[in-house]
Amino acid sequence: MSWFNRRSRGAEATPTKLDREATREDLAALEAFVATRRGVEFYLEPETTATDTTVVAIAHDGEWIRRRTGTPRAAGGIARKHAVPLYEAARTGYPERMRTWSRAHPERHAR
């Protein structure tokens, strides 16, 4: 009897499809954000069943963007290229300045 396994056996064989892969435009957006803002830090978010690996880039004033990178290695490459610190969001969390900025600019990141 399988009380704790509610998935059918066929579900394990079905691969998960991400909403979309990272593109060159995603990586270019991160690079443009770094080039036009001060004090940018990257926060790496792991791949999930719905989304590819992402990076949240947060500027000194809390302005932020989230873009797919495809792999943690790609995120690390951009961070090294631009001398931007890269943190694991799951370990460090996000800085308060990001939440403050989001509250002040709800039109930019409405969900």
What does the domain layout of the chain look like in residue ranges? 24-108
- Mean predicted confidence (pLDDT) in 42-64: 93
Q: What is the distance between the alpha carbons of residues 17 and 27, in angstroms, rounded to a whole number? A: 21
pLDDT-derived band of residue 93, with 50, 70 and 90 as boundaries? very high
Calculate ∠ Cα 79-82-88, nearest 5°: 20
Integer angstrom CA distances of residue 91 from 45, 86, 88: 10, 12, 5
| Cβ count within 10 A of residue 65 | 18
What is the structure's pLDDT at 61? Answer: 96
Question: Distance between CA 17 and CA 29 in Å, rounded?
Answer: 24
Whether pLDDT at 92 is above 70: yes
Q: 3-class SS at 44? A: strand
d(CA 22, CA 109): 20
**Mean predicted lDDT score pLDDT of the chain:** 85
Tell me what pLDDT residue 16 has: 52
16-20, 58-62, 70-74, range with the lowest pLDDT: 16-20
